[in-house]
Chain A
Amino acid sequence: MTLLVGLAAQLLHIALMGAAAPMLIGVYAWMQARLAGRVGPSPLQPWRDLIRLSHKHTVLAESASGATTIAPVASVAATAIAACLVPSFALGMILSPFADLLLIAGLLMAARGAPALAAMDAGTAQGGMAASRAMLLACLTEPALLLVLFVLALLAGSLNLDLIAAMQLENGADWRIGVGIALAATLLVALVETMRHQALRLDLGGRDLALIEAADALRLLAWFNLIGAMFVPFGMAPAGAGPIAWVVGIIAWLARTLLLAVALALAHIMHGRIRLPRAAQVLGVAVVLGLLAAIFLLADMGTA
């Protein structure tokens, strides 16, 4: 019975992710426009763009190899698997034993690396520069994220996201200081990680571009879900709970996602486009905060 409930929750989660990811990009673009005093595009626009692009044929550069063809599929596949593993509205989904934070972080990084490979493949100057920038940021993101994961693993005794979310649900609003600082570090990492690198997709078109756009949308949603599950899993249905708890979980998930979208839109409106040196600084602060989170957690655990 528990297996069936877990399977049903997993299928509903996958359906929600598929439907909501492009919508989230649309809502985010609409919010950004409204906050800047413009009318903004319809929240359904990303869906229309995806459908339009998927009907077009792919045009590849003469110098492009098979890597350009494989990269968009690899990127969307890695992001989709990561999005499936991160719980959104319910714990105890059928794939929850595989929801290891290191695996999820690795999948998100692989999804980031694939478009960079495609951008370098054609051999254009702009693509190569964009790929080197994206990879530099990925290198700086990694230590900050690993420090945050270390903090959570120290606290929960496991890197399984389901166990961490269950522990946070149990603790409620009674946060340790280290966890709060880790949240600040994660928000900074997410701010840089959710940036869209337009130059990476200059050599792509048609279905390949649609796949990269879909991967971007899924990554944004996966990051929001990851922050929610790691730090604020309030309202999430516990493992084995029924449909009523799921409805509450979906409402809480929607509220959390919208709140994070507003916060991200506000951050981007207030600071404008984050350029490479600024992004490197932000990630540097995230690394320092991750280190402080670990130290303060150790200080806190001295009394535990």
Chain B
Amino acid sequence: MTGAASTAVLLLSIGLLCARRIDTATQLCTLQALFAAITLGEAATAIAVLAFSLNGLVLPLAIARANNVTILSLRGNALLSWAVTLALLVVTGLIFAKVGADGLVAAGVSVALLGPLLIVLRSHALAPALGLLSSQNGLVLVAAALPDVSLPAASAAAVPLIPALVLAETWLRRCSA
């Protein structure tokens, strides 16, 4: 079950890069948070529920409320961006294969790295919040993969503090404009 859920998180993070509308991207983030929480659920159920509530419900709802432009327009060359995405995934996979780490960790790190790529590829005011939220789901995946992860560390991975701050900053900037 863990493998299937983490695969879904990785595929959804690739799908997030293809999303052309902000509401579709938000829905993908919600699904991603759900699957990440399922992965974490086996080790720490309470933290998984907290992670899904914050990453899958509260923040996506806040992003949906703050949104005023629906189209996630592409910035730069699409082919180049896909090449970067592929290179990023391949290099991450190869590094982890060489180190001999768990595949779940490789998937989590890939998701965490693909998040900031969304910020680079899309010129939308909410793209940073979405990208960081996706990265947060990657961190949840990494926390689920690590054996004997401490409670504070798992909680820190589950609470999307930086995406929330970025979203608040975007919202304040929009209010002051």
Interface residues, chain A, CB within 8 Å of chain B? 173-181, 183-184, 288, 291-292, 295-303
Instruction: Tell whether A302 pairs with B96 under 8 Å between CB atoms, given A175-B3, A180-B4.
Output: yes
What is the size category of the interface that chain B forms with chain A? 20 to 34
Partner of B2, one of A174, A297, A299, A303: A174
Convert B67-95 into 0s and 1s, putting 1 for each residue whose CB lies closer than 8 angstroms to a CB of A.
00000000000000000001001100110
A288 to B93, CA, bound (A): 13
**A181 near B10 (CB under 8 angstroms)?**
yes
Contacts of B93 in A (CB 8 A): 292, 295-296, 298-299
Q: What is the predominant secondary structure among interface residues of chain B facing chain A?
A: helix
Q: State how many angstroms separate the Cβ of A172 from the closest Cβ of chain B.
A: 9
**B7 near A180 (CB under 8 angstroms)?**
yes
Q: Which 7 A-B pairs have the closest CB atoms?
A: A180-B7, A300-B103, A175-B3, A295-B93, A299-B97, A302-B100, A299-B96
Cβ of B107 under 8 Å from chain A: yes
Nearest residue, chain B, Cβ from A182:
B7
**B107 near A296 (CB under 8 angstroms)?**
yes
Contacts of A300 in B (CB 8 A): 102-103, 106
Q: Given contacts A181-B11, A184-B11, A299-B106, list 12 more A-B pairs with CB under 8 A.
A: A174-B3, A177-B104, A177-B106, A177-B107, A179-B3, A179-B7, A180-B3, A180-B10, A296-B107, A299-B94, A299-B103, A300-B106
Q: What is the predominant secondary structure among interface residues of chain A facing chain B?
A: helix
Nearest residue, chain B, Cβ from A183:
B7
Contacts of A288 in B (CB 8 A): 86
Q: State how many angstroms separate the Cβ of A61 from the closest Cβ of chain B.
A: 43
Contacts of A183 in B (CB 8 A): 7
Contacts of B1 in A (CB 8 A): 173-174
Q: State how many angstroms separate the Cβ of B31 from the closest Cβ of chain A.
A: 14
A288 to B99, CA, bound (A): 23
Nearest residue, chain B, Cβ from A179:
B3
Write 25 A-B pairs (CB below 8 A) sorted by A numbering: A174-B2, A176-B103, A177-B7, A177-B10, A177-B104, A177-B107, A178-B103, A179-B3, A180-B4, A180-B6, A180-B8, A292-B86, A292-B89, A295-B90, A295-B93, A295-B94, A297-B103, A299-B93, A299-B106, A301-B97, A302-B98, A302-B99, A302-B100, A302-B101, A303-B102
**B4 near A175 (CB under 8 angstroms)?**
yes
**B101 near A299 (CB under 8 angstroms)?**
yes
Q: State how many angstroms separate the Cβ of B125 from the closest Cβ of chain A.
A: 29
Contacts of A292 in B (CB 8 A): 86, 89-90, 93
**A303 near B3 (CB under 8 angstroms)?**
no
Contacts of A180 in B (CB 8 A): 3-4, 6-8, 10-11
Contacts of A176 in B (CB 8 A): 3, 103
Contacts of A299 in B (CB 8 A): 93-94, 96-97, 101, 103, 106
Q: State how many angstroms separate the Cβ of B74 from the closest Cβ of chain A.
A: 15
Contacts of B100 in A (CB 8 A): 302-303
Q: State how many angstroms separate the Cβ of B3 from the closest Cβ of chain A.
A: 4
**A173 near B101 (CB under 8 angstroms)?**
no
Contacts of B101 in A (CB 8 A): 299, 302-303
A177 to B9, CA, bound (A): 10
Contacts of B89 in A (CB 8 A): 292, 295
